[in-house]
Structure 1
Amino acid sequence: MKTSRRTLLKWSLLLTGYLFTTPLKKVFANIPLKKYPDLIAIKDGSPAQMFDVGIEAIGGMKRFVRPGQSVLVKPNIGWNRTPGEGANTQPDLVAKIIEHCKAAGASKIVVFDNTCNTMSSCYENSGIKKAVENAGGIMLPSDDEKYYLEKNIPGGKILKKVKVHKAFLESDVIINVPTLKHHSSTKMTASLKNFMGVIWDRQFWHKYGLNQAIADFPLLRNADLTIVDAYLVMTKNGPRGISTDDVILKKMQLISTDAVLADTAACKILNLNPSEVTYLKLAEDFKLGSTDIKNSNIKKIYINKKA
Structure 2
Amino acid sequence: MMAEVSITKGEDIVVRTREAVELLGGVHKVVGKGDKVFIKPNIVDGAPFITGEVVQLETIRVLVEECFCAGASEVLIGETPTYRRQTETILQYKKLADEMGAKFLELNNYPFVEVNVENPRFFKKVRLSKPLLESDVFINVPTLKTHASCGITVSIKNMYGLIPPEDRVLYHTLNRVEEAIVDLYKAKRADLIVVDGTYTTFHLGPRPIEDFKETFRLNLTLAGFDPVAIDTISAKILGINPSSLRYLKWAEEDGLGTRDINRIRILGVSLEEACFGRAAGTADFINNRMNELKVMNFNACTGCLQAAVHLMHVVRGLRNIMGGDRRIICVIGPEAKVDFIGKELRGENDVILLCGYCVAPTFYNCLSGVFIPGCPPQPEDLQRTLKELLSRQS
Q: TM-score scaled to structure 2, two decimals? A: 0.64
Tell me the residue number matched to 1:86. Answer: 52
Is 1:229 the equivalent of 2:196?
A: yes
Asked which structure has the greater CA Rg, the reply is 2
Shift of 1:122: 7.5
Shift of 1:242: 2.1
Task: Tell me the SS of whatever aligns to 2:229.
Answer: helix
State the AA in 2 paired with 1:162: V
Is 1:246 the equivalent of 2:217?
A: no
Equivalents in 2 of 1:250, 1:210: separation in Å? Answer: 27
Equivalents in 1 of 2:242, 2:269: separation in Å? Answer: 23
Is the contact between residue 79 and residue 122 of structure 1 (CA under 8 Å) also seen in structure 2? no
State the AA in 2 paired with 1:299: L
Task: Tell me the SS of whatever aligns to 1:167.
Answer: helix
Task: Tell me the SS of whatever aligns to 1:294.
Answer: helix
Is 1:99 the equivalent of 2:32?
A: no
- 1:17-73 deviations in whole A, cap 9, x for unaligned? xxxxxxxxxxxxxxx8x7xx7110111232221111111111011111000000000
Counterparts of residues 287-302 of structure 1 (less than 5 Å)? 287-301=255-269
Shift of 1:291: 0.8
Equivalents in 1 of 2:88, 2:37: separation in Å? Answer: 21
Shift of 1:241: 5.3
Is 1:271 the equivalent of 2:268?
A: no
State the AA in 1 paired with 2:237: I
State the AA in 2 paired with 1:185: S
Is 1:262 the equivalent of 2:230?
A: yes
- Which residue of 236, 248, 255 maps to 1:280? 248
Is the contact between residue 81 and residue 106 of structure 2 (CA under 8 Å) also seen in structure 1? no
RMSD: 2.0
Equivalents in 2 of 1:123, 1:140: separation in Å? Answer: 14
Equivalents in 1 of 2:204, 2:172: separation in Å? Answer: 18
Is the contact between residue 120 and residue 183 of structure 2 (CA under 8 Å) also seen in structure 1? yes
Tell me the residue number matched to 1:17. Answer: none
Tell me the residue number matched to 1:62. Answer: 28
Is the contact between residue 87 and residue 241 of structure 1 (CA under 8 Å) also seen in structure 2? no
Tell me the residue number matched to 1:12. Answer: none
- 1:112-143 deviations in whole A, cap 9, x for unaligned? 11122226438625x32222322221011322
Is the contact between residue 224 and residue 257 of structure 1 (CA under 8 Å) also seen in structure 2? yes
Equivalents in 2 of 1:43, 1:226: separation in Å? Answer: 17
Tell me the residue number matched to 2:114. Answer: 150
Is 1:42 the equivalent of 2:32?
A: no
State the AA in 2 paired with 1:181: K
Q: Call closer, same or farther: CA 1:119–1:261 in 2, change over 3 Å.
A: farther
Tell me the residue number matched to 2:102. Answer: 137
State the AA in 2 paired with 1:155: N
Shift of 1:177: 0.1
Counterparts of residues 88-127 of structure 1 (less than 5 Å)? 88-118=54-84, 120-121=86-87, 124=90, 127=92
Equivalents in 2 of 1:61, 1:171: separation in Å? Answer: 16
Is the contact between residue 227 and residue 253 of structure 1 (CA under 8 Å) also seen in structure 2? yes
Is 1:186 the equivalent of 2:150?
A: yes
Counterparts of residues 192-207 of structure 1 (less than 5 Å)? 192-200=156-164, 201-207=167-173
Is the contact between residue 119 and residue 143 of structure 1 (CA under 8 Å) also seen in structure 2? no
Task: Tell me the SS of whatever aligns to 2:185.
Answer: helix
Task: Tell me the SS of whatever aligns to 1:54.
Answer: helix
Does 279-288 or 109-118 show the bigger shift? 109-118
Work out the percentage of aligned pairs sharing the same amino acid: 32
Equivalents in 2 of 1:190, 1:122: separation in Å? Answer: 23
Tell me the residue number matched to 2:183. Answer: 216
Is the contact between residue 43 and residue 252 of structure 1 (CA under 8 Å) also seen in structure 2? yes
State the AA in 1 paired with 2:190: A
